[in-house]
A and B are shown apart, each in its own frame.
Chain A
Amino acid sequence: MSEHEHIVTPTGTYVATFVALLILTALTYLAAIHDFGWMNTPIALAIALLKASFVVIFFMGVRYNTPLTKVVVITGFCWLFILFGLTLNDYLTRPWLGVPGR
């Protein structure tokens, strides 16, 4: 693949990613045993999302991939949110109707 200059990630990057993931896992746990009220879940998800992005960007090498790959990844998440969003659009608005006369 000489003409295609496929970049080889240095081992150091991988190890750094690995360490970061472990630290974030510990952080997930620490965040969970603290009471942040309703914020607990968003925090947990934010950390998970961060971890996932590390894996996607470094381990899976999206960094060096074609723009198309990035579009594909983003599409995947968008569709997931279509599924979540429009379904919740039902569940979260159900109580709005109330009872007759109110």
Chain B
Amino acid sequence: MSDVAHTQDSYLGPPYGLGAWLLTKDHKRIAILYLISITIFFAVGAMFAAGIRLELLTPKGDLWTSDTYNKLFTLHGVVMIFFFLVPSIPAVLGNFLLPIMIGAKDLAFPRINLLSWYIYIAGAIITLTAVFTGGLDTGWTFYVPYSTLSSHTAVTTAAVGVFITGFSSILTGLNFIVTVHRMRAPGMTWFRLPLFVWAMYATSLQMILGTPVIAITVLLVAAERFLHLGFFDPSLGGDPVLFQHLFWFYSHPAVYIMVLPGMGVISELVAAVSRKQVFGYSFVAFSSLAIALIGFLVWGHHLFVSSQSIYAGLVFSILTMLVAIPSAVKTFNWTATMYKGAVTWDSSVYWVIGFLGLFTIGGLTGLFLAAMGMDIHLSDSYFVIAHFHYIMVGGSLMAYLGGLHFWWPKMTGRMFNDTLAKASAVLVFIGFNLTFFPQFVLGYMGMPRRYHAYPDEFQVLNVLSTAGAGVLAVGYLLPAFYLTYSLFKGAKAPANPWGAKGLEWTVPSPPPTFNFESDPVVNEPAYNYNPGREVHVG
């Protein structure tokens, strides 16, 4: 299939100029634009992280002033979440792959797709303006009344930046939903969709239903600060806890916006490395939807010690326990997929194993926090920090890197150095655990988060953690080098270097501008490594 004579140029081919890229409507080029931008933001966020870790080497606050430190972790959180992890997999891998995977020539609304990138950039620029005009020191959670009445930093600007960026995510989600509904190739039924598409669909649902609420919430904060309106001001009788409800109504689903795409990537990778149908396809597919739905019902678990009604806490706690079940189902299905597979030891499997290990730890520690009595002790401590880094960095980021490597040959048409990729995965895994495992212990011992200086007895573990961050840094820097190197010197990639299934592997690497030489027709289920019998899944 891949050797058909090229009738179209690859999407990387002409037209070249900057204008042709910046005004492109091709989902693949837009994906590359996103790839470049979020990589920059990851670097920015990582520099902030380095600042945090270096300060925490010593108990005294001696490297930065406390105001600077507060800005560091705030900006680290804001940049990493809103400008890196939320757009990462959806806007890069999703943009690139979703249309190809379902056999479409593009997303339903190519112009809106480009617009959403511009909105993202506009939001990013405004937020960066805030960084240089006073910074931001509210924590990424913007809690009122600190953010509205007390902080002296550029909260309004940053809030507007986040507000704008929100629309980028809304438009991406909207585009994906319509595309999945309306653009599938003939024969591409819902149950033949790759699981990555299911995950993206579930993610998009959360984006369109949740993001508007954070948008209006930060707008209210901006209006309260800037126009002196009052929404949460306690001196007018306003309730700061209301803000927390509105904030977490989005921001809890947002954590699934950040992990579901990663889960989708892992589903693809697990199937490809084992050359086997994903175990329990429909369970994995529906667990994505279940997470998307139940994920909206649990936000109150961030408010257990906020003076929220304890009865409301009960409801949120039990629902939180329920939302863990679909994740458990997925984890077990991935594991079972490898059973009797033909498992490769290419770099891909390293990312998969890394993800499974770290996500499981991260997820299970979420249960400590979901058990209300336990959360009283652990809330706002380093235990929480460790919990979410395990999921977001150990899980999602690992999956993102895994996916980026896996589809790199498809996106760029070049092969990278697999040995270095393995080294990078191993380094990330080790460095990661070294950085964040001690934080569980710290949290249990009672070390509060967002502390610029801390009591002496916590030092040993903090030094370990900073050392781990050093290892982690090497693990992240490595791909930057060998992937860039591959662009110029890498071997040309065949259409299907991994021997994987899926429409994206039937087109040349890199794919032609309109993805397919001829309109694709699908007549087999996903991951059909054992062709011959049409199966019912279950």
A, B bound: yes
Task: Please list the residues of chain A having a beta carbon within 8 angstroms of any beta carbon in chain B.
Answer: 68, 75, 79, 82-83, 86-87, 89-91, 93-94, 96-97
Q: Tell yes or no: B299 within 8 A of A by CB.
A: yes
Chain A hits for B310, CB < 8 A: 97
Which of B181, B213, B241, B312 is the one whose CB lies under 8 Å from A83? B213
* B345 part of interface (Cβ distance < 8 Å): no
Beta-carbon nearest neighbor of A97 in chain B? B310
Question: How many whole Å from B186's CB to the nearest CB in chain A?
Answer: 18
* Closest CB in chain B relative to A63 CB, distance in Å: 20
Chain A residue numbers with a CB within 8 Å of B303 are 90
Chain B contact residues: helix, strand, loop or mixed:
helix
Q: List 26 A-B contacts (CB under 8 A).
A: A75-B209, A79-B209, A79-B296, A82-B296, A82-B297, A83-B213, A83-B249, A86-B297, A86-B300, A86-B315, A86-B316, A87-B249, A89-B309, A89-B311, A89-B312, A90-B308, A90-B309, A90-B312, A91-B309, A93-B309, A93-B311, A93-B312, A94-B309, A96-B311, A97-B310, A97-B311
Q: Does B422 contact A (CB under 8 A)?
A: no
B242 CB contacts on chain A under 8 angstroms: 87
> With A and B bound together, what is the CA distance between A15 and B299 in angstroms?
45
Chain A binding surface, main DSSP class: helix
Chain B residues with Cβ below 8 Å from A90 are 241, 245, 300, 303, 308-309, 312
Number of A-B contacts (CB under 8 A): 39
Contact A68 B312 (CB under 8 A): no
A-contacting residues of B (Cβ < 8 Å)?
Answer: 181, 209, 213, 241-242, 245, 249, 296-297, 299-300, 303, 308-312, 315-316
Residues of chain B within 8 A (CB-CB) of A79 are 209, 296
Closest to B298 in A: A86
A83 to B371, CA, bound (A): 23
Q: Are B181 and A68 in contact (CB under 8 A)?
A: yes
C-alpha gap A93/B310 in the complex (Å): 8
Q: Which 5 A/B pairs are nearest by Cβ-Cβ distance?
A: A90-B312, A93-B311, A93-B309, A94-B309, A89-B312
In the complex, the answer to whether B309 meets A97 with C-beta atoms within 8 Å is yes
Q: Tell me the complex Cα distance, A89–B308, Å.
A: 10
Closest Cβ–Cβ distance, residue A72 to chain B (whole Å) = 9
Considering the chains assembled together, what is the distance between the CA atoms of A82 and B316 in angstroms? 12
A87 touches B245 (CB 8 A): yes
Complex interface: chain B residues within 8 A of A86 (CB): 297, 299-300, 312, 315-316
A89 vs B317: C-alpha distance in the bound complex, in angstroms? 13
